Structure 1
Amino acid sequence: MQALLTRTAGIAARYLETLEDRSVAPTAAALEGLKELVEPMPGQPMEPAQVLETLDRIGSPATMGMAGRRFFGFVIGGSLPAALAANWLAGACDQCPGLFVASLIATALEEVCLAWLLDVLKLPAQSGGAFVTGATVANFTALAAARHSVLARAGWDVEADGLFGAPPITVAIGDEAHPSLIKALGLLGLGRSRVVRVPVDSQGRLVAARIPALQGPAIVCMQSGNVNTGAFDPEGEICERAHSQGAWVHVDGAFGLWAAVSPAHAHLTEGVAAADSWATDAHKWLNVPYDSGLAFVRDAAALKSAMSLTAAYLPQGEHREPSQYTPELSRRARRVEIWAALKSLGRAGLADLVGATAASPLDLPKNCGKGAARS
């Protein structure tokens, strides 16, 4: 095992070190080589070292150079050195952090990371949180808490009784809401087409004055960081208008929520803390390996009610149980690399990372890490 992992580390380091010398997109020859992977299921075992050699020989040249400094597509970040190393160590330890008793270290790191993240993102300290795969599931998780809360106020237990016969929920979104948010609404049974689309301005910002009158259970979704323009919805104005009508406010802040950590850009998120839930990614501006998403909910009890397990055979102790706040029970320990990224950067480094990227995305210092954020 030691020899294999040492060899793997060498291959990975060589891959990263040579990214600047190759094209960002794979060559035609590299893509042609993928045909070698198309074969019947092997009948006999192959030595792990040979498996690794095959994967590197065929797969590495065919990758998109996302981990390098010259990739600018899809708001994808690379990986900080400490985060990548922590990811490898977490994989070797193979922790399943669904239950406190199953992985005490992963649970402890989750609690530390949650407190740090709420602090640097300037969100309410009492909020609950979930470590998930990405912004789609983060939106899903936070909106499940929203669905629970607005229906509970109407006297309906959606987790027990479902949506059949439930009071209808009005969902208002900006006309340029991200497809991941709309997908999450569909998964939750709130509908992709039945939403109320609110007009936006020339930069894609939701026009708060155009939010219609809301009656009964209602959720208003706004956006911190339009993926096409980078624009932020008028958060304070939207929260005031929605809350005055008893609506829940959710923020899709997949990359833009991180502006809060930069003194030069924090004004863009003024008012966002008045919302009820937030979704963002750690694999974007925090630069941890894929996949890593985050959901935060002001009312932690609403999040727990929407996500809690009911199976009696699973040991539930007095300690906070991670599986009570996420859709998944079995999952990898994403909080390990998040902790490593935050620990290695510190408050000052995190502010520099976001601030420098937003100011000059084409001129990143090398000490920002491999593939520093390119949002």
Structure 2
Amino acid sequence: MDAREAALHQAYDHAVRWLASLSDRPVPARASVDEIVCALGTELPEDPSTPADVVELLAGACEPGLTAFPSGRFYGFVVGGSEPAALATDWLVSAWDQNSVMRAVSPAHAAAEDIAGAWLLDLLGLPADSAVGFTTGATMSSFTCLAAGRDAVLRRAGWNVARDGLAGGPPVHVIAGADRHMAIDLGLRYLGLGEPELVKADDQGRIEPEALRHALAAGGQRPTIVILQAGDIHSGAFDPFTETVGAAHEADAWVHVDGAFGLWAAASPAYAHLMAGCADADSWATDAHKTLNVPYDCGLAIVRDPSALRAAMGLQGDYLIQDEHGDPIDKVPELSRRGRAFTVWAALRSLGRSGVADLVDRLCRHASAFSTGISGIDGATVLNDVEFTQVCAEFGDEERTERVLTRLLADGTAWISGSIWHGRRVMRISVSNWSTTDEDVERTLDAIRRAAAGA
């Protein structure tokens, strides 16, 4: 056994033990940053160490400081877990070590990307000739789509932003609902577009069509981008796409949909109605790590017009071996990147069409169970219409809600974080993990009941 193989065996043993511990271990981490720093050591060694020893030190020192994100009882953020085929494939991605930007350099990844992209468009009910780019996550997916939209609306106004930049060009009017995700503002800032004009949303976070029409009319003939969302981060609500996309296109606006976790509703016959009209938009962003449950670092940027995406993201270099049919490099911001399409292909191939639908349905069923269980707790109120995977609740007043959250994290059975929604302190539950079971939900509800009884 050479040094590399020994290190891999060491990593495998620790990974298996870690995964086996998830059913029983407390979800929050048990060690502080300072404790882990001390265990890892702060002095850079003078001499080399064997790879296996390095893996052993890292795993032993860090294990107490790991949060059980892959556990079926983590509901703090919309992060999902790692579906088994995708997890195993991700190990291969690291071992294969492919730079996946050009078809000629990594034909294997290009093939997986072509197939996975086509499967995604089919599952999500999006135009079959759309371009699919594999980015780091949902934030960069929206950035990528909005870059294509920015350049496209400026081209229609007679301005070449690729050649001339933004200075001196017509300002781009960006409109979003008041309850948009903060990552949208970040992407707009990266693109030099500033803050969006915010229009009224209803009590579930859905943009109001009449408010959007008014903003579009008041904006006149300026180049315009409208940002909608599939899945509000608090309520899980979906914007009314049929009305809003139509209104935006009547004003010649580019329509982008932030569907970080909600875009996957289209894969389920039971929830596809939430996406009615969404496929008429111009671009869509989602994150395969969320509802599809592949490992981190796998956002998806989907653009109806492939030429618009290539115009915004493509580049040329004398040393690049570029393909006449286009390359992955034409669809994403990065040059060096992991073989993200391998893990998406593996998850889709493993689950199949019915398996993805079952996954979405199961997550939604668990969210409904949480809603029902919390509603039966004395003093608790579920605040949102639970139509997808999100649940927001309060426990009488802000002080008691905070005490319930504090006691719940101290209990360790589950991780549920708080948030502020409509100016109120709330418990926010995001059901995202493929491995969450009915038993996990019941164990978590029992922990919530204990926390509420003591608060």
Name the TM tier (shorter chain): over 0.9
Distance across 1 between alignment mates of 2:45 and 2:244: 57
Gaps in structure 1 of 5+ consecutive residues: none
CA drift at 1:10 = 1.8
The structure whose Rg is larger is: 2
Show the counterpart of 1:351. Answer: 357
Distance across 1 between alignment mates of 2:56 and 2:22: 19
Show the counterpart of 1:229. Answer: 235
CA drift at 1:61 = 1.8
User: Aligned partner of 2:200: which letter?
Assistant: P
Distance across 1 between alignment mates of 2:23 and 2:353: 29
Distance across 2 between alignment mates of 1:246 and 1:66: 43
SS across alignment from 2:23: helix
Distance across 1 between alignment mates of 2:33 and 2:333: 38
CA drift at 1:6 = 2.3
Gaps in structure 2 of 5+ consecutive residues: 371-432, 441-455
2:31–2:64: 8 Å Cα contact kept in structure 1?
A: no
Q: Aligned ranges for residues 69-218 of structure 1 at < 5 Å?
A: 69-192=72-195, 195-211=196-212, 212=215, 213=217, 214=219, 215-218=221-224
User: Aligned partner of 1:324: which letter?
Assistant: D
Show the counterpart of 1:12. Answer: 15
Distance across 1 between alignment mates of 2:318 and 2:305: 25
User: Which residue of 47, 51, 55 corresponds with 1:48?
Assistant: 51
2:72–2:435: 8 Å Cα contact kept in structure 1?
A: yes
Distance across 1 between alignment mates of 2:209 and 2:236: 18
2:340 is aligned with 1:340: no
Deviates more, 1:201-210 or 1:23-32: 23-32
User: Aligned partner of 2:317: which letter?
Assistant: A
CA drift at 1:347 = 0.2
CA drift at 1:126 = 0.9
Show the counterpart of 1:308. Answer: 314
Q: Deviations over 1:6-40 (max 9, x none)?
A: 23212101110011221101114786244333513
CA drift at 1:129 = 1.3
Deviates more, 1:157-166 or 1:4-13: 4-13
User: Aligned partner of 1:162: which letter?
Assistant: G
Q: State how many pairs are aligned.
A: 368
1:81–1:369: 8 Å Cα contact kept in structure 2?
A: no
Distance across 2 between alignment mates of 1:317 and 1:150: 28
Distance across 2 between alignment mates of 1:30 and 1:179: 27
Q: Aligned ranges for residues 201-280 of structure 1 at < 5 Å?
A: 201-211=202-212, 212=215, 213=217, 214=219, 215-280=221-286
Distance across 2 between alignment mates of 1:55 and 1:27: 16
Structure 1 length normalisation: TM-score?
Answer: 0.94
User: Aligned partner of 1:265: which letter?
Assistant: Y
CA drift at 1:290 = 0.5
User: Aligned partner of 2:344: which letter?
Assistant: I
- Bigger RCO of structures 1 and 2 (CA < 8 A, at least 6 apart): 1
CA drift at 1:145 = 0.3
Q: Deviations over 1:174-221 (max 9, x none)?
A: 1111011110000000012xx211111000111111011132210000
2:30–2:66: 8 Å Cα contact kept in structure 1?
A: no
1:146–1:219: 8 Å Cα contact kept in structure 2?
A: yes
SS across alignment from 2:205: coil
SS across alignment from 1:21: coil
Show the counterpart of 2:384. Answer: none
Distance across 2 between alignment mates of 1:369 and 1:242: 36
CA drift at 1:253 = 0.3
Distance across 2 between alignment mates of 1:93 and 1:125: 30
Show the counterpart of 2:324. Answer: 318
CA drift at 1:54 = 0.7
User: Aligned partner of 2:44: which letter?
Assistant: M
2:144–2:301: 8 Å Cα contact kept in structure 1?
A: yes
1:139–1:279: 8 Å Cα contact kept in structure 2?
A: yes
Distance across 1 between alignment mates of 2:31 and 2:350: 38
2:72–2:434: 8 Å Cα contact kept in structure 1?
A: no
1:79–1:371: 8 Å Cα contact kept in structure 2?
A: no
Distance across 1 between alignment mates of 2:309 and 2:162: 12
User: Aligned partner of 1:69: which letter?
Assistant: G
User: Aligned partner of 1:103: which letter?
Assistant: S
Show the counterpart of 1:298. Answer: 304
Q: Deviations over 1:244-279 (max 9, x none)?
A: 011010000000000001111110001100100000
Distance across 2 between alignment mates of 1:181 and 1:268: 21
1:69–1:371: 8 Å Cα contact kept in structure 2?
A: yes
Aligned residues: CA RMSD: 1.8
Q: Deviations over 1:74-93 (max 9, x none)?
A: 11101111000000011100
